[in-house]
């Protein structure tokens, strides 16, 4: 290992002890969302990769996306929006060993950048509040976290903005306590290329809903900022559906709610399909 690389690793590891960020844990982050009428934009390792000039597996680097992500993270001028960043910047306590190893390796080069962009005076939610099952060694809190998160959309009219392959809440009961659900379906890869169509479609429909839920990778982070500035509540829920499916698969009881959305119901909920080159109202 080169001397410069070794020094970078040591410096980033030292920062963990001398320059931690103010990040709420998962329980406090969820409670904050439940008790405050705020929107949420989430940043993880993928968003940081794009900010630093790299690709991720479902989103190619784009300078426009990179600059928007940086601007939203460093700015504090949107009073409607809360920012989530990984609690792992400060601690990996409670995570499975392989998850701890991933974050420790990631922070060996990334911690200094998180501190540089975020600053130590601001307060953040835990971006990993939507990853509330798979990563944990002990999973006794997961059912409570899922149950609490579903209260966000209880008896509400919700608009889901998601990729073509996401199918949030299909074949499980995650959104069964919502009053009504509609969906805008977007490209599963490189959604940023269709951002103009996505934001126009969301803003055109937003007034009809109590809450907008987004699952579009880094594009959802920018969407949360733009939509919340118009006075609509939007929450980036990331991989919550994947986490919930794993919870059910490994023995969690799928009785948080009752109704399960099937494929036929899912198709009926779609109000617009956005491809990279065109949009179609259904």
| 264-273 per-position pLDDT tens digit | 999 999 999 9
Domain chopping of the chain, boundaries: 3-281
- pLDDT, position 262: 93
- The pLDDT-based confidence of 121 (bands split at 50, 70, 90) is confident
Is residue 1 pLDDT above 60, yes or no? no
Q: Distances from the Cα of 196 to the Cαs of 10, 185, 220, 231, 277, in angstroms?
A: 42, 14, 13, 19, 11
- pLDDT, position 276: 73
| Residue 62 to residue 93: CA distance in whole angstroms | 34
pLDDT digits over 30-47, tens only?
Answer: 999 999 999 999 999 999
Specify which residues 245 forms β-bridges with: none
Is residue 99 pLDDT above 80, yes or no? yes
| Per-residue DSSP letter, 59 | B
Is residue 140 pLDDT above 60, yes or no? yes
Is residue 48 pLDDT above 60, yes or no? yes
Neighbours of 94 (CB within 10 A): 15
Is residue 257 pLDDT above 60, yes or no? no
What's the pTM value of the predicted model, to 2 decimals?
0.92
Percent of the chain with pLDDT over 70: 92
Neighbours of 268 (CB within 10 A): 13
Mean pLDDT of 219-242: 97
Q: Distances from the Cα of 87 to the Cαs of 62, 128, 137, 167, 191, in angstroms?
A: 26, 7, 16, 27, 26
Output the average pLDDT for the chain: 92
Is residue 280 pLDDT above 80, yes or no? no
Specify which residues 94 forms β-bridges with: none
Angle between helices 97-118 and 63-74 (to 10 degrees): 80
- The pLDDT-based confidence of 2 (bands split at 50, 70, 90) is low
- pLDDT, position 76: 85
- pLDDT, position 279: 60
């Amino acid at each position: 290992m080169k001397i410069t690389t070794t020094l970078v690793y040591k410096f980033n590891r030292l920062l963990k002890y001398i320059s931690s960020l103010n990040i709420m844990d998962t329980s406090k982050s969820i409670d904050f969302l439940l008790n405050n009428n705020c929107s949420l934009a989430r940043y993880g390792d993928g968003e940081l990769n794009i900010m630093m000039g790299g690709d991720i597996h479902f989103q190619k680097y784009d300078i426009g996306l990179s600059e928007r992500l940086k601007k939203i993270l460093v700015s504090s001028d949107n009073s409607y929006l809360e920012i989530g960043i990984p609690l792992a910047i400060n601690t990996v306590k409670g995570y499975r060993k392989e998850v701890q190893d991933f974050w420790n390796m990631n922070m060996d080069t990334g911690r200094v950048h998180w501190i540089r962009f975020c600053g130590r005076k601001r307060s953040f939610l835990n971006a990993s509040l939507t990853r509330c099952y798979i990563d944990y060694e002990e999973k006794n809190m997961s059912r409570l976290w899922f149950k609490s998160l579903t209260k966000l959309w209880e008896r509400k009219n919700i608009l889901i903005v998601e990729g073509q392959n996401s199918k949030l809440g299909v074949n499980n009961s995650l959104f069964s306590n919502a009053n009504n659900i509609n969906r805008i379906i977007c490209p599963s890869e490189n959604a940023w290329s269709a951002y103009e169509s996505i934001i126009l479609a969301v803003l055109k429909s937003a007034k009809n809903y109590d809450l907008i839920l987004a699952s579009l990778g880094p594009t959802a982070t920018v969407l949360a900022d733009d939509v919340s500035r118009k006075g609509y509540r939007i929450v980036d829920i990331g991989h919550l559906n994947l986490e919930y499916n794993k919870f059910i698969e490994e023995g969690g009881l799928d009785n948080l709610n009752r109704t399960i959305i099937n494929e036929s119901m899912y198709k009926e909920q779609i109000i617009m399909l956005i491809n990279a080159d065109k949009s179609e109202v259904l």
